[in-house]
Amino acid sequence: MQAYGRKTLAVNKSPDPIEGQVVADVCVIQQWPSQAAVEKWLNSAEYAPLKQLRDECAMEKLVMIPLSDVSLP
């Protein structure tokens, strides 16, 4: 993933919701240089075997939030 420009910013193996319910065992926040870089990784030969495993056993949701949509102080 690093070859595609990904940086892991946070990993929480026991997310604790402030309100509501978390249905994930692990939450990960990553920074990517662009949506195109994410898509290139997701469609890469390196990721193909892991993608099937992810879809069957791990994640059911991936969310992308473009930095342009985030207000920073």
- Give the pLDDT score at 69: 60
pTM of the model: 0.66
Q: Which helix (H) or strand (E) segment is 7 a member of?
A: strand 7-12
pLDDT in tens, 2-47: 788 888 899 988 888 888 887 777 888 888 888 899 899 889 998 8
